[in-house]
Amino acid sequence: MPELPEVHTTVQGLSSLLKGIKITDVWTNYKSNFKAYKNSIKNPAFFTQFKKDIVGTTIVDATRRAKNILIHLSNRRTILIHMKMTGHMIIGRYEMSSVTKDKKDPWKPHPSERAALHDPFNRHIRLVFTLEGKNPTASPGHVDRKNEKFHLILSDMRRFAKVTILETDKLHQSADLVDIGPEPLDQDFTYTQFASILGAKKSGKIKTVLMDQAVIAGIGNIYSDEMLWRASIHPESLPSKIPSLQLKKLFVAMKTVLEQGIDFGGDSMSDYRNIHGERGKFQAEHKAYRRTGQPCEFRGCKGIIKRKIISSRSGHFCDTHQILYI
């Protein structure tokens, strides 16, 4: 379920822990003929080239654009990872079991690794980068040899993730990133811009529009429900019909909810985990998402949270205090 706050948390971990670390190998068991994955490592020919491109390089930094993780390498190339529904990345020591070699997911955490890495949610390991350098996650008792091998893995139960490689200089012109809208947490992203983008939307419901990556980057199902609840706007409202006072509230709610998500280390209601394999805590702050049938907690409101499919996504809202503008 990684949305902006979850991807942000992961990227912050990668950036703070892996700068200057060398990539010495890469392994995957992804394989798919699905057209959308033609330019991804799920295509075996693409993976062969991918491996040549990255082995021997050093990680320069990691950044985020919308829900994409961007790992910049020393050879002016960038690995792009979109975790889609169930992907999450973890750093640690892993080993390939010889006994289970033929099984679907042969990699498992080293027995001495912390308990979080052994969580069943973290065991759908589809992609493994072997790294070399000082292991930044080594536990205090572990004797850290200077150039020990450790790993960056992608656990992805449903196998929806997309992994590709691009030239760093041309990154933002690439098909994967070129059509993405402004970053909601950018200081430069003002209410005036927000209002003009949404005001220009002639059709589409506000919840759907907020989740459209070409409109605003990084918002998904959970955070769209939460920001609309806080702004008292019904998710089926038409953006162009929302009065400016309420739209301003939405703009503020968008920033505060996303920042709150980051402050709580992301949302682990489902299987998101941070770079150490640990849960985030934002799920305890939900006011709408997956609270169907529970009393609305908006001050003074006596409503009950409803669930309704909106543009084939599950929307959660209170139809008492969230006003429908159409």
Q: What is the CA radius of gyration of the chain?
A: 21
- Pairing assessment for the beta strands 148-156 and 162-167 based on DSSP bridges: unpaired
**Could you say whether residue 268 binds DNA (CB under 7 A)?**
yes
Contacts to DNA from residues 190-229, by CB under 7 A? 202-204, 208, 211, 213, 220-222
Token pair 């979850």 in the structure block, residue: 6
Nearer to DNA, 69 or 131 (CB): 69
With respect to DNA, which residue has the nearer C-beta, 135 or 283? 283
**Footprint on residues 128-157 left by DNA (CB under 7 A):** 157
Residue 299 and residue 35 in contact, taking contact as beta carbons nearer than 8 Å = no
Does the footprint of DNA cover residue 233 (CB under 7 A)?
no
Q: Please, which residue, 35 or 146, has the CB nearer to DNA?
A: 35
- Cα separation of 129 and 134, whole Å? 15
Q: Count of residues binding DNA (CB under 7 A)?
A: 40
Q: How far is the CB of 121 from DNA (least distance, A)?
A: 8
Q: How far is the CB of 75 from DNA (least distance, A)?
A: 25
Q: Which residue's CB is nearer to DNA, number 62 or number 177? A: 177
Task: Decide: is 67 part of the binding site for DNA (CB under 7 A).
Answer: yes
Would you state the structure tokens that stand for residue 225, as one six-digit string? 């429900």
Question: Which of these segments, 17-25, 32-40, 146-154, 227-235, binds DNA (CB under 7 A)?
Answer: 32-40
Please enumerate in sequence order all residues whose Cβ is within 8 A of that of 280, keeping only pairs 6 or more positions apart, or say none.
5, 6, 9, 261, 264, 265, 266, 267, 268, 272, 273, 274
Bin 169: left if φ > 0, else alpha if -120 < ψ < 50, else beta.
Answer: alpha
For residue 314, the minimal CB distance to DNA (Å) is 3
- Is residue 92 involved in binding DNA (CB under 7 A)? no
What SS3 state is found at 282? helix
Tell me the closest approach of the beta carbon of residue 266 to DNA, in angstroms. 9
